[in-house]
Every structure is written in C-alpha cells, then in structure tokens.
Amino acid sequence: MSTSASLTPLRRPPRLAPGARVAVVAPSGPIPEERLAAGLDVLRGWGLDPVAAPHVLDRHREFGYLAADDADRAADLQNAWCDPAVDAVICARGGYGAQRMVDALDWEAMRAAGPKAFVGFSDITTLHEAFAVRLGLVTLHGPMAAGADFVKSARAQEHLRATLFAPESVRTIRSDGTALVPGRARGVTLGGCLSLIAGGIGTPHTRASARGGLLCLEDVGEETYRLDRYLTQLLRAGMLDGVAGLLLGSWAECGPYDKVRALLVDRLGGLGVPVAEQFGFGHCDDALTLPFGVTAELDAGAGTLTLDEPALS
C-alpha cells in the first residue's frame, strides 16, 4: 500500500485579460501550418496577442513524429515561460515527444519566472505532471491551439475562453456523462492521458500516488488490452491507493465502448469510490477544459465537478 501524503491544492496562475500575449509552443508532434494559422486566428478573435515559438513548424531531422529536435522543443517552452512579456503558454498539439524533452527544462529558471496559465492535453500530460511536481502550479487540461478539435468546435473554444478570462463563470463543470459508480467525492484534481500517466510512474516528474485526489483519465487509439495493462499498472504501483474519486473522459478509437466500459468496471469498480464516465474531456468533440491542481467536489450521478475556487486567480 502507498504511504504517500494526500495531494494538496496548487498555486493558481492569474487569469488573462484582453491584450495578453500568449506563446504557442510544440513540445510533441509536428504541426500542420494551416491548422496553426486557424488556431492563432481564434486566439486573436479573443483579443489575445498570440505568438508562435520559433520551432513550432519545424520537424525533427530524423524522426518525423517529432515537431523539432528535443533541445529546440525544450528551448521554445522554456524561453516562452521565462519571457516576462508572455502571460500564458498554450501547446499547439499532442502526439508524442514531451517525455523526450521534459528533462532538458531548467525548472529553477521556470520557477523564478513566476506563475502563468499553461494549456494542453494528450501527450502534454507529461508536462501537467511536471508543472505540478516542479512548479507547484495549477494547469489546464484543455484543447490546443492547432488541434482539429479546437479550431472546429465553438463549444471547446468557449469553455477554454471562459476558463482563461472569467474562471468564476465555470466553477461548476457540467458533463453529459453518467455514473460508472455513483456518489460524491472531494479531492484535488490531476491526471490526463492514461498511457502517459502509466508511462511516467517511477520518473522524476510524476507523482507516485493520487491519494486524496480526483483522478481524471482518458486516452485515444488504444486497444482494450492496452488500457487493461495501463490500469493494472496504476493499481499494482499503488497509484490508486487512497484515490478519492475518478473522472473518465473519452476513449476514442479504443474499441467498442461496451468493451471499454466493462474493463473500466472490472479495474476501477472495486476501489469503493465514485467514478464518473463519459465526462466530456480529452480526445472528443466539444471537449471541456479541466483545471488540474484545484480542490473540487465530484458528483458522479449528476455529472458535475464543482471547484472550491476558480481555476485561475
């Protein structure tokens, strides 16, 4: 059994105001130029001043699934974060690559730069965990600037915009989902892409336990047996010992949902905590933005997550 202390709430970055400068970075996969342009236009429409980092449109010299060399991707993120003129950092897309560059970041310099809003999901799960562990900051699990889900979805855009500009207006996050296991639970939010959470166990930038937390999990393109492997790894590693509750997002391209659901019941139903399913975050249409690092109450039956405080200060 894990003996880790319960999670505590993290420091909330300041909200954005019109005219704020936002850096768009690519810590993971390569970016289609037309989608980046569309995403930047959306951000400009919000009254923001978006700036693409120097290597956002680069491609790794050997591995085409990476946006640029590891050092360049790390430098883009670190330089954006440490630039006092930048008020927030939004990732362009996921894919793969954050695990390769996270160890190259100068966490002391980034901590000294102060808090900023940070947005992303999927492969960016690695950075959500690192920002929690190394910087102690609330981050936003939400749609990314060059993501097809973002540029095409008014609902995803509006929920992220409200979270960034008027976070008190989305203190209660409502989903269309149902309860896998009914009940209410309170805890500090954390999580992201299941495969990345499992892959981060034992690394310097990932917490060993979700004790006292509301763990949010989703994934994409994983066969059911692979989801089984990841969930079993979390159970065997003790990461789910003492978890307060779970929110389950989308499982796009992970097989028929009835099979996925049966697996979720099998692996998570015996924890004795509330579990909300199909909560509407992750790799899905109209994805909601979830803050990580805040204390909240989950009502699995009602499909709601109510934050004690707004996500941003």
Q: So which residues are the catalytic ones? A: 122, 218, 283
What would the two tokens of residue 224 be? 């059911």
Bridge partners (DSSP) listed for residue 217? 192, 248
Helical (H) or strand (E) element with 247 = strand 245-252
Contact partners, residue 228, CB within 8 Å, separation at least 6? 263, 267
As to burial, measured by CB atoms within 10 angstroms (0-12 exposed, 13-18 middle, 19+ buried), residue 74 is: buried
User: Where are the alpha helices (H) located in 237-312, listed in sequence order?
Assistant: 257-268
In 3D, which of 94, 147, 80, 103 has the Cα closest to residue 125? 94
Bridge partners (DSSP) listed for residue 248? 217
Contact partners, residue 222, CB within 8 Å, separation at least 6? 194, 195, 230, 251, 253, 254
In 3D, which of 272, 271, 204 has the Cα closest to residue 239? 271
Output the DSSP codes for 144-174: -TT-HHHHT-HHHHHHHHHHHH-GGGGSEEE
What would the two tokens of residue 11 be? 């420091």
Q: How would you classify the pairing of strands 172-174 and 304-307?
A: antiparallel
CB neighbourhood size of 64 (10 A): 10
